[in-house]
Amino acid sequence: MNVSGILPLEKPAGMTSHDCVLRARRWFKTREVGHTGTLDPDVTGVLPLCVGRATKLVPILMEGTKAYEGKIALGSATTTEDAAGEVIERKKVSEAITDEELEQTFASLLGEIRQVPPMYSAVKVKGKRLYEYARAGETVERPVRSVTVYAFDQTGNEMWSPDRDHLLIPFSVICSKGTYVRTLAVEVGRRLGYPGHLSLLKRTMSAGIGQNACVSIPEMDERSQNGRAEESLLPVEYVLRDYPHYEVSDRELQKIKNGAVLPANDYPRSKRIVFTKERQTLAIYKPHPRKQGMIKPDVMMEVDVGR
């Protein structure tokens, strides 16, 4: 059977998500590798990679909630909204911000909020990515998007940067797909009356995978050299564990393998349901958009069962 599964990779600073995909293609000797949400080069942390037939899960896993830890720097704003950009505004922080002010500011950004993506981002407008406009010195109207912030907290005492030009605020955030944490950092500064940017960021959870489950690039290089790369893969069932599972009968097996539309009342009600045979995922179904009371395939997996 071809190699398949989820690689819980710990991305280091200085590598793009695509760089990690290229490394994984070499480790597993396959071009079938996809990531589940881009991390900026300077951002570290959890980067789940789908390998083999698991690449079919990329759209579903990208929808999931993500968690981050980082630091907000008050005192300057940058072109990229993070520490990599050029400074475009400065205002010295004259005194420490009170815990009450910080708590109120973080709380004010909870729930569904509207964000304008940074100019230095991969969002496409009129067929071009925003960072392409930014690098050319062009401005373009950016789409407003709704995202959800589920938790946003200060995680330690604020501190001054070594040059005392910035007040650094450590934080953690749990948010929906599409949330720009850089933009959250800028908004925290704005609400506190100072220009701000994101000075440090680490993703601690994605696709239900925490940082404790991750393997590093050097570990994967070594395992690959020793022919043990596949030992690092999680089964697809691991990232689907929060959905209801239904073990199909032999009679149902052929219908599902053929992608049949099925009556919803015959199965557990859910946003998605995972159909399994011999504990292997056959297909993921979701409510039919037009046929009320029916469910249809969302993802079809290729597995060797029932033959």
Catalytic residue ranges: 40
Report which residue type is found at 221. D
Q: Is 241 helix (H, G, I), strand (E, B) or coil?
A: coil
Query: φ, ψ for residue 73 (rounded to 5)?
Result: -105, 115
Q: What's at 7, amino acid-wise? A: L
- 125: tokens are 């407008």
- CB burial of residue 223 (10 Å; 0-12, 13-18, 19+): middle
Q: Are 197 and 61 a contacting pair, CB within 8 Å?
A: no
Q: CA-to-CA distance for 256 and 247, rounded, in angstroms?
A: 11
Q: Which two tokens stand for residue 294?
A: 């029916």
Helix (H) or strand (E) holding 8: strand 5-11
Nearest in space to 25 (alpha carbons), one of 210, 207, 224: 224
| Dist. CA 134–CA 81, nearest whole Å | 13
Q: Hey, what are 291's tokens?
A: 């046929």
CB of 117 within 8 A of CB of 183?
yes
* The amino acid at 13: A
Task: List the end-to-end C-alpha distance of the chain, in Å, as a whole number.
Answer: 15
Rounded CA-CA distance 122/107 in Å is 28
* 305: CB partners within 8 A, 6+ apart: 253, 277, 278, 280, 282
